[in-house]
Chain A
Amino acid sequence: MPESISQPRRNVDVPEGLWIRCTQCSAMIYRRILEEELHVCPECGCHYRVDVRTRINQLNDPGTFEEFLPNLESSDPLEFSDRITYRERLAKVKAETGETEAMVVGKGFIKGRPLIMGVMNPFFIMGSMGAVVGEKVSAAAERAASESLPLLMVTCSGGARMMEGMVSLTQMAKTSAAVGRFDQAGGLYIVVMTDPTTAGVAASFAFLGDVILAEPGALIGFAGPRVIANTIKTTLPEGFQKAEFMLEHGFVDRIVHRRDLRSEIARIIDYCNK
């Protein structure tokens, strides 16, 4: 479930201005340098959240990405309303991000290797999964199976989108079933977990990867840290639910720096090539 649903208008999760102070180590970084470093702090290695188009450009060979199903939009199945209606919330987020939903799927190339990929957008209602995200993931898995291509999912989500109620929860089963079929068809499924990958997305298609990579420092887990802290009434251990914690406990295959993602993905595809 998304912890915070109102995100300020930003393409990347860094402060505005020509010079930027890293939110983690307070180093002053020139904006252009940060962009060259793929939005990773050159001083402390903090991986900032990036929006979906930036991520697609960073991962794919230039100009190769071809989006499919770009025109799906949430239909508000519950006619949900809290302090504002879900439709208003969607309209606001669409205007802010310029995207129609929290995920983009398509066919791309990484170092010349074709693959089907899905990338989540942390700035669209916390990358939460509703009917559209579920449909896009399932459709991507089916297309990867039919075209015999590897499937890559770059996850970044607060979980199921509660404004779609049980429709969003059932997307967990739908995406898992689709990934299961792709698995049976012998396809290679690579997941890159980025900050944050939690709750309904973690507990469905994200943790089903044949190979699970994670960006350093990414929050990965099922229940949010605040919820756990409140349940057990103590402070949580240092580094709890970070990518390194998941690696330590055996649930992540590799932690990969953002600049190495392309080469690592290409390497794994080559090793699994039949």
Chain B
Amino acid sequence: MPHQHRQNWVRASSPPWRGLFWYITMSTQPATAANPAGAIGHVLEFEKPLAKMEQEIQRLETLQAESGRDYSEVITTIREQLQNALRQSYANLTAVETVAVARHPRRPLVRDYIRLIAEDFCELHGDKLYGDDHAVVCGFARLAGHRVMLIGHQKGREWREKIEVNFGCAHPDGYRKALEKMKLAAKFNVPVVCLVDTPGAYPGVEAEERGIARAIAINLMEMSRLATPVVAVVVGEGGSGGALGLAVADQVAVLEHAYYSVISPEGCAGILWKSGEYAAQAAEALRLTAADLKRLDLIDAIIPEPLGAAHRNPEETAQNLATWIGKTLRDLRRLKPESLLRRRYDRWRKIGSFFVEGGKSEPGRTDTKPAKRARRPTKAAAVQPEA
């Protein structure tokens, strides 16, 4: 298998139980042969041949500038090869490679998107209950022709920032802050745009003491009935409840190489395979890529990334993001408030497929299947007890 060797570094370096530490160490340690995703290298294992070509182009360009000789033909050839190789690599990413791309140290973060596509960003801090969680960024902005309330997880780029924002792992205060700003937006009929990028809500003593479960639960409930259009985009990591806590929206999109999962592949492997070494298999089994989620009808759109993923061209990625948000908000703003809320409720209410066993069905129900069980498609008209 060509990607057998690609998975080795994941096996070699992931502790058995959880993604968070794996993520922290992987994204901050210097690059070594065993750990090619380090902060200095920024080269994922499957990207190594691509990086070599990129280096070669750079070397030739420098040489050309210094010596005055013409290497343009060679450069063009390598460029073409690089394009083809990129296209091929990124068209055939395995699930665990997608996770690595979504965690790429150079992948644009929420504050990058704010800088690139939000005009006149007016940041609003604090949950007005306890504190200001830096892992969640909120503020008014003008985006793709709309006034919006922009909310997102910030993961942090440099060490200092990473610590300040707690690696994008929000405490309860972060979720309460987000809800506070959403309610402000709803009061003045300003649509809400959520950009999701978190390994998960913070698993710590203080988070539990301040009721992280309650904070997320309240967000889920309130977002489901927030009287203004809400769109959510997973731009990097969509880590479990911590991601969903900002993603109950009218329309949910995922960037092409982002992932969205109920549990980190490392965590899942630790529990079900009893060893984090099986992260690659777990990633595959969890169906966490944008394409899989679309196939399962769990998300509404996939936003394309430029060739070679967002970290190669943040500007174009941001533009694609802005285009989708602009178009989606335009459509949502046409809806009457009641119909907006009814549609949102139905969107979430319909999710989930299950068998209806024949024979002993609910009296009065008309949709009972015969003894042979029928598979209900996801989002099919769900069994309504009051039907």
Interface residues of A (CB under 8 A from B): 1-3, 5, 68-75, 77-78, 80-83, 100, 130-132, 134-135, 138-139, 142-143, 146, 160, 162-174, 176-181, 183-184, 198-200, 202-208, 220-224, 226-228, 230-232, 236-237, 240-241, 249-251
| Contact between B362 and A203, CB atoms less than 8 A apart | no
Partner of A228, one of B204, B220, B348, B383: B204
Q: Which residues of B contact A221 (CB under 8 A)?
A: 208, 213
| Contact between B218 and A208, CB atoms less than 8 A apart | yes
Q: Which residues of A contact B267 (CB under 8 A)?
A: 1, 227
Q: Which residues of B contact A220 (CB under 8 A)?
A: 213
| Contact between A177 and B225, CB atoms less than 8 A apart | yes
Q: Which residues of B contact A199 (CB under 8 A)?
A: 213, 241
Minimum CB–CB distance from B243 to chain A (whole Å) comes to: 8
Minimum CB–CB distance from B263 to chain A (whole Å) comes to: 5
Minimum CB–CB distance from A94 to chain B (whole Å) comes to: 11
Interface residues of B in 197-227 (CB under 8 A from A): 201, 203-205, 207-214, 216-218, 220-225
Minimum CB–CB distance from B371 to chain A (whole Å) comes to: 12
Partner of A166, one of B221, B261, B285, B373: B261
Besides A78-B287, A177-B224, A207-B211, 19 new A-B residue pairs in contact (Cβ under 8 A), listed by A number: A2-B271, A70-B360, A71-B360, A71-B362, A82-B272, A132-B354, A139-B383, A162-B262, A164-B262, A165-B262, A166-B288, A167-B352, A168-B262, A169-B240, A170-B351, A177-B348, A199-B213, A204-B220, A227-B267
Q: Which residues of B contact A204 (CB under 8 A)?
A: 216-217, 220
The chain A residue sitting closest to B299, CB to CB, is: A166
The chain B residue sitting closest to A84, CB to CB, is: B272
| Contact between B271 and A75, CB atoms less than 8 A apart | no
Partner of B263, one of A81, A82, A142, A162: A162
| Contact between A73 and B225, CB atoms less than 8 A apart | no
| Contact between A167 and B298, CB atoms less than 8 A apart | yes
| Contact between A203 and B385, CB atoms less than 8 A apart | no
Q: Give CA–CA (A207, B220) in the complex, Å.
A: 11
Q: Give CA–CA (A163, B271) in the complex, Å.
A: 11
Q: Which residues of B contact A75 (CB under 8 A)?
A: 353-355, 375-376
Q: Which residues of B contact A164 (CB under 8 A)?
A: 262
Chain B interface residue count: which class?
35 or more
Minimum CB–CB distance from B268 to chain A (whole Å) comes to: 5
| Contact between B21 and A230, CB atoms less than 8 A apart | yes
Q: Give CA–CA (A173, B230) in the complex, Å.
A: 14
| Contact between A231 and B211, CB atoms less than 8 A apart | no
Partner of B205, one of A165, A180, A240: A240
Q: Mark B238-274, 1 if CB is under 8 A from A, else 0.
A: 0011001101100000000000111100011001110
Given A166-B298, A177-B221, A222 contacting B261 (CB threshold 8 A) = no
Given A70-B360, A72-B357, A203-B213, A173 contacting B224 (CB threshold 8 A) = yes
> B324: CB under 8 A from chain A?
no
Q: Give CA–CA (A232, B208) in the complex, Å.
A: 13
| Contact between A174 and B351, CB atoms less than 8 A apart | yes
> B386: CB under 8 A from chain A?
yes
| Contact between B385 and A68, CB atoms less than 8 A apart | yes
